[in-house]
Amino acid sequence: MKKNTNELYAAYTRLMQKAADINYAAAVLGWDQEVYMPPKGVTHRGQQLATLATTAHEMLTSDHYGNLLQQLWQQADLGDVEKNNVRLSLEDYEKNKKLSPEFVDKLSRLTSEGFNAWVDARKKNDFSVFAPSLTAMIALKREQAELYGYKAHPYDALLDEYEKDATVAMLDPIFEGIKAQLPVLLGKIKTAPQVSNDFFHRHFARQQQWDFSIDVLKQMGFDFEAGRQDYSEHPFTTSFSNTDVRITTRVDENNYASMLWSCIHEGGHGLYEQGLPGDQYGLPLGSAASLGIHESQSRFWENCIGRSLDFWKFFYPQLQKYFPEQLGDISVDDFFKAANRVIPSLIRTEADEVTYHFHVLIRYEIEKALIEGSLDPKDLPAKWNDMYEKYLGVRPGDDKTGVLQDVHWSHGSFGYFPTYTLGSFYAAQFYERAKQDLKGMNEQVTNGALSMVLHWLREKVHAHGRRYNSEELCERITGQKLDPKFFMHYVEEKYKSVYGMK
Ligand code: CO
């Protein structure tokens, strides 16, 4: 690059890294809020977070920044990495500029208001308490879709925020496939001899559960010199750089299934963050590809690896050492089966790998209808309950276990849910490929040698940051775009071995 280009690029990097410093500082405050902050801290913490968010937003929507990007984009001698960073930054900039500061402010205020109303409504177990702010939020999200612009469906504009370039046209066939194929599998499972996980409800002491989870995370390759695990009410992953990644967990002494797989899940998110290129700090190539790809990493570890018999052949004897009384009479085979028990239920976050996607499907269909205006928010509870009955055969008895169970809509996160299903499907497709690329992967996993798997994910996924969108990345890794047949194959194989079906 010529001197002029070098100078411009250095100015761009400085500005981006300053904004990243602010955003990561906000992430520290956000992490603290969930992990340590005393209850009375909430008011000023909210203001502190808002101040940091607006400061970063102002920097990244300023005319100065816009001009810098435009100038850089016209430099013919930008290198490959630099060009990709500038291309993605320019896309972000143009998107951010479509929302006026007034709109951003309105959205942020409605988000706090909506969240409080949702918490209140859950306490009172009454959707009508949440309905007014949700109705206002939906109207604002429809406005946002118009501001962003879209080709075919207003929901596309919102999806794009979480999963760049994903559309209704891409998702509809995926969910149609779920509707057509998963009930068949579910039917077979229902008629097979059932699997018991009663022993998960024996007493498992908190400290031992914690210690074992740390053993597993270390074996997965999570770097505790560049991250930590803490307790919080809802498990999550956040990072302040690729060398400081935080995961959180919760424990239930009377339900072993509550903690460990969630640790592995967040560990998968954490490994992705630790694997992002450190020399691209604050730049697009130093950040994750999309939410769907992020979720593919967590589900790859949690489900494809962490719920496999191979994995437990290695780890189960170690777990039994922590819990000789609780697990002494349980074979590794029965433990593996219990970890994969399928049962339709009301709560998304507690669902197994098969029924989970009906929970997402229901939210997807509802969101599309709300955003296109064909569903009146006041009809939501009834619609929700009907769909649960239709797809899962269970009907919520109240709003708390029904339409009020997820926080997402109170935050205005419409378009987020589909990334959960995309994540699982990408994970299954990557897993199939990894088995081909890595000869003897299963034997390695049986020996606890997980570094081979991590190395593959590092090279195929983590190293690229945001350079490719999800579909491009999937094509590079597996030779084709997302194809649900890989997930279908994966679940069929798994449940054959769990339920002894043909
Ligand atoms: Co996740």
Give me the pLDDT at residue 251, please: 96
Give me the pLDDT at residue 233, please: 85
Q: pLDDT, tens digit, for every residue of 107-123?
A: 888 888 888 899 999 99
- 497: CB partners within 8 A, 6+ apart: 309
Å from CA of 473 to ligand 1 middle = 19
Q: What tokens does 246 get?
A: 């935080």
Q: How far is CA 116 from the centre of its chain?
A: 23
- Given a cut of 90, is residue 216 above it in pLDDT? yes
Are the C-beta atoms of residues 457 and 463 closer than 8 Å to each other?
Answer: no
Å from CA of 259 to ligand 1 middle = 14
Are the C-beta atoms of residues 29 and 45 closer than 8 Å to each other?
Answer: yes
CA 162 vs CA 53, 103, 357, 432: distances in Å: 18, 19, 18, 25
Q: pLDDT, tens digit, for every residue of 451-481?
A: 999 999 999 999 999 999 999 999 999 999 9
Scanning 221-341, the segments in alpha helix (DSSP H) are 260-275, 291-299, 309-322, 324-327, 332-339
Which chain residues have CB less than 5 Å from ligand 1, an ion? 298
Scanning 62-126, the segments in alpha helix (DSSP H) are 63-73, 80-97, 101-124
CA-closest candidate to residue 130, choices 122, 138, 121, 139? 121
Q: Is 499 exposed, middle or buried (0-12, 13-18, 19+ CB in 10 A)?
A: buried
Q: pLDDT, tens digit, for every residue of 441-454?
A: 999 999 999 999 99
> Looking at this protein, which amino acid is placed at residue 268?
G
* Residue the block writes with tokens 């972000």: 92
What CA–CA distance (Å, rounded) separates 12 from 256? 49
- 54: CB partners within 8 A, 6+ apart: 104
Q: pLDDT, tens digit, for every residue of 43-93?
A: 898 889 888 988 998 999 999 999 999 999 999 999 999 999 999 999 999
Are the C-beta atoms of residues 1 and 78 closer than 8 Å to each other?
Answer: yes
CA 479 vs CA 144, 152, 317, 408, 454: distances in Å: 35, 27, 38, 34, 20
- 436: CB partners within 8 A, 6+ apart: none
Q: How does DSSP assign 176-240, residue by residue?
A: HHHHHHHHHHHHHHHHSPPP--GGGGS---HHHHHHHHHHHHHHHT--TTSEEEEE-SS--EEEE
Q: Angle at which helices 206-220 and 260-275 pack, to 10 degrees?
A: 30
Å from CA of 148 to ligand 1 middle = 27
Average pLDDT, the chain: 95
Scanning 343-438, the segments in alpha helix (DSSP H) are 356-372, 380-392, 418-437
What CA–CA distance (Å, rounded) separates 431 from 104? 40
Å from CA of 267 to ligand 1 middle = 10
Domain 168-499 has CATH 2.40.100.10: no
Are the C-beta atoms of residues 107 and 144 closer than 8 Å to each other?
Answer: yes
Q: Determine how many CB atoms are found less than 10 A away from the CB of residue 146.
A: 12
Q: What are the residue boundaries of the structural domains of the chain, listed by start?
A: 5-148, 168-499
Residue 228's DSSP bridge partners are 246
What CA–CA distance (Å, rounded) separates 288 from 307? 25
Active-site residue, 350 included? no
What's the pTM?
0.95
Å from CA of 237 to ligand 1 middle = 8
Our CA angle for 61, 67, 73, nearest 5°, is 110
Give me the pLDDT at residue 124, please: 97
Å from CA of 302 to ligand 1 middle = 10
The single residue of 82, 266, 302, 367 carrying the catalytic annotation is 266
- Given a cut of 80, is residue 440 above it in pLDDT? yes
Å from CA of 360 to ligand 1 middle = 14
Å from CA of 292 to ligand 1 middle = 9
What CA–CA distance (Å, rounded) separates 420 from 296? 8
Å from CA of 266 to ligand 1 middle = 6
Å from CA of 43 to ligand 1 middle = 28
Å from CA of 236 to ligand 1 middle = 7
Å from CA of 425 to ligand 1 middle = 13
Q: How many CA atoms lie within 13 A of 415 on its CB side?
A: 26
Å from CA of 3 to ligand 1 middle = 43
pLDDT category of residue 1 using cuts at 50, 70 and 90: low
* For residues 256-273, average pLDDT: 97
Q: What percent of the chain has pLDDT over 70?
A: 99
- Given a cut of 80, is residue 175 above it in pLDDT? yes
pLDDT category of residue 252 using cuts at 50, 70 and 90: very high
Å from CA of 228 to ligand 1 middle = 17
230 φ, ψ (degrees, to nearest 5): -135, 170
Length of the chain: 502
Residue 241's DSSP bridge partners are 244
Q: pLDDT, tens digit, for every residue of 326-358?
A: 999 999 999 999 999 999 999 998 899 999 999
- 215: CB partners within 8 A, 6+ apart: 318
Residue 230's DSSP bridge partners are 248
Q: pLDDT, tens digit, for every residue of 392-423?
A: 999 999 999 999 999 999 989 999 999 999 99
What CA–CA distance (Å, rounded) separates 36 from 231? 9
Å from CA of 269 to ligand 1 middle = 7
